[in-house]
Structure 1
Amino acid sequence: MKVKEILPGLLTSLAIALVSQLVAQRVPALGAATIAILLGILLGNTVLRQPQLASGTKFAESKLLEYSVMLLGATMTVQTIGQIGGWGVGFILIQMTVTILGALWLGKRLGFSQSMRLLMAGGNAVCGSSAIASIAPVIEADEDDKGTVITLVNLMGTVLMLTLPWLGTSLFGGQTILKGALIGGTLQSVGQVVAAASMVNQATVQFATIFKIMRIMMLVVVVLIFGRLHQRSLEKEVADEAVVSGNGNGHWLPWYVAGFLILCGLNSLFTLPAFLSVSVHTISSWFEIIALAAIGLRLNLVNFLRAGKRLALYGLGVGMLQVTTALILISFLLKG
């Protein structure tokens, strides 16, 4: 792909990301990521439908999200898990398992493809757009499916982001770690977690972030499991298992997931300079926001709305399952 072909769409996505960051300063409750995808959808289905934008938006959607996932590894350490204790780890593992199984079951009942179900399960259980971007190549997901699920997960995440601070404060009062568990164990993206926890207080931000990081650290495990599930489904459909196995093995561990692991390992063994950690986090966030703007530009709103009722039921169902499960687990594992 030539640079000349990529530039128009890439620069358009960057411009939307810049506007989103500026708007987010005025409306911090929404966050730049959510604004970027919504603005991208609006413009991409009205004034920015030019075919010459396609190559650049496709590049931004795929490659920048991959780099964002990889760089995320440098912002966390294995030692972080110890800060929430054994009960906290148990809470996250059970919460993620229930979310994944529930999303797969509900998606099947609503008639969605296995690809859509896996993307929805991973996006909600782990870390929103970054998880979806990591899972998509492993299960050979359709680009339209990926864009649709990312949009749905971000929209549902926005609703929960505005709801959970009030719910947590109403139920748990001054118990900061419990409010952090609810927000960090439920919301999809890091930005949504920080924004929601900030509506409570700074101590809640710290605990919510730790719970969220624990979920992100399970990304590699989820990618590998979903890759294996996809490979098995192909083996059932195709008679020549050797060919299927060969194709599947090539996607077992995408380069950016391997990079995530390496950077996380290095950050766990050696303390990276503060300026480097901040810079990497900033670059990762920018890449994600530009990619989300591109996804919005590429989303066919007509097709999205055509499946609106089923998608709405799917999003609401998974969101309610996450919140209900979190509240039950907090009562039994943490509050008790």
Structure 2
Amino acid sequence: MKPLRAVGPGLGLSIVIAIISQLIGQFVIKGLGAATIAILLGIILGNTVFQQPQLASGTAWAEKRLLELSVMFLGATVTFQTIGALRWQGFVFIVLQMAITIIGVVLIGKKMRFNEGMTLLMAGGNAVCGSSAIAAITPVIDADDKDKRTAVTLVNLMGTILMLGLPLLGTAVFGHSDFLRGALIGGTVQSVGQVVASGTMINAQTTTFATLFKIMRIILLVVVVLIFGRLHRQQQTSNDTNVALPKSSSFLPWYVLGFLVLCALNSLIHFLPIISGTAHFLSSWCEIIALAAIGLRLNLAAFIKAGKQLAIYGATILILQVGVAVGLIWILLK
């Protein structure tokens, strides 16, 4: 644990940006979401006003530790009973949607010559739950911080586009079916906050269905982490038979285990609303503060330099995700 005086300035700045972002999201730009605002505001301020070296320790700590805590607290907000609530068709839809998204994102990434870390982070972030999934996957595939920050930024921007566009697309394709529109939003939009915001643009019933589909994706986070860890170990072994694999690739990170334990407990005993509500509050704030820190640490010049390739990658993934989701919903759920 780093001393408070080392992490204090950067952590404090990240918290201030998170609070400002929350206020902007509630009273100024309603619907965009505090998480998206936090990372965008962090990028702007981190590349203009706040470039002091003494902020680095605190923003690095917030980026890593608070995203980890966000993943763990999220476990207390979901249950395995969600699968039963959406019937077998809903479960099959989510599994196929996630699998096709992951395979497609990885293949597209390889075709565009992105490295393994970037492609797997983009695959997990888009298929599961945005920043939280990226944070959970990073250590098991030994991805570097630069790839993590780039993936988090791009995935959040993509999520914002889907958040705003899917209510219109869902109504155009599926009419006024709240269940089908909820499936489209919950099966594709990246973060929990973006799913709720997108569903709210239609009505409360759509938000409920979208959230249920999203929770099912979150529950499968552990499966994705295990698979990605195994793929990374196999890749390392095939590249060098004498390589000593890092410990992070051998076991689930502590916070993913914490997520699984809390999810299992909530499924068995059903936490009181005050407990699950508090966990949701802590998870959301940890994520927003961490995203502010990631924005502060992102090199905007380098991101813009790679912008064309990243934009093509992101746009291709969006088309893939939405196209597959619409097709699967039409076949399985309509």
Q: Verify same fold: TM over 0.5.
A: yes
Q: Measured at CA, do residues 62 and 251 of structure 1 come closer, stay the same or move farther in structure 2, by a change above 3 Å? A: farther
Structure 1 equivalent of residue 207 of structure 2: 205
Letter in 2 for 1:59: W
| Contact 1:227/1:248, CA 8 A, preserved across alignment | no
Contact 1:161 1:187 in 2 (8 A): yes
8 Å Cα contact 2:141-2:249 kept in structure 1: no
Aligned-partner Cα distance in 2 for 1:66–1:319:
26
Q: Does structure 1 conserve the Cα–Cα contact (< 8 Å) formed by 2:183 and 2:329? A: yes
Equivalent residue number for residue 232 of structure 2: 230
Task: Say whether 1:127 aligns with 2:126.
Answer: no
**Contiguous gaps of at least 5 residues in structure 1:** none
| Aligned 8 A contact 2:22 2:34 in 1 | yes
* TM-superposed deviation, 1:174: 1.6
Change (3 A) 1:302 1:251: farther
Measure the CA separation in 2 of the matches of 1:80 and 1:113.
35
Q: Note the alpha carbon deviations across 1:13-57, whole angstroms, 9 max, x for none.
A: 000000000000122221000000000000000000000000000
Please give the root-mean-square deviation of Cα atoms over the aligned residues, in Å.
0.9
Letter in 2 for 1:25: Q
State the one-letter code of the partner of 2:264. Answer: G
Q: Who is 1:297 aligned against? A: 296
Deviations 1:140-197 (A, max 9, x none): 1110100001000000110111100011111112211000000000000000000000
Q: Kindly report structure 1 stretches of 4+ aligned residues shifted beyond 6 Å.
A: none
Equivalent residue, structure 1, for 2:15: 14
How big is the shift at 1:80?
1.3
TM-score norm. by structure 2 comes to 0.98
Question: How far apart, in 1, do the equivalents of 2:288 and 2:128 lie?
Answer: 18
Give runs of aligned pairs for residues 175-194 of structure 1, distance below 5 A.
Answer: 175-194=177-196
Q: Which amino acid aligns with 1:315?
A: G
Matched position secondary structure for 1:185: helix
Q: 2 CA distance for matches of 1:274 and 1:181?
A: 25
Give the whole-Å Cα distance in 1 for the aligned partners of 2:117 and 2:175: 40
- Tell me which amino acid in the other structure corresponds to 1:104: V
On the 8 A contact 1:137/1:251 being kept in 2, the answer is no
**Distance in 1, Cα, partners of 2:173 & 2:223:** 32
Equivalent residue, structure 2, for 1:253: 252
Q: Deviations over 1:68-123 (max 9, x none)?
A: 00010000111111111100000000000000000000001111001000000000
Matches within 5 A, 1:16-165: 16-26=17-27, 27-165=29-167
Give identity over the alignment, percent: 59
- Quote how far apart the aligned CAs of 1:289 are: 0.1
Contact 1:127/1:188 (8 A) holds in 2: yes
Alignment partners' CA distance in 2, 1:211 and 1:261: 18
In the TM superposition, residue 235 of structure 1 has moved relative to its aligned partner by: 1.0
For residues 199-241 of structure 1, give each alpha carbon's deviation from its aligned partner in whole angstroms, at most 9, with x where no partner exists.
0000000000000000001100100110111111111222315
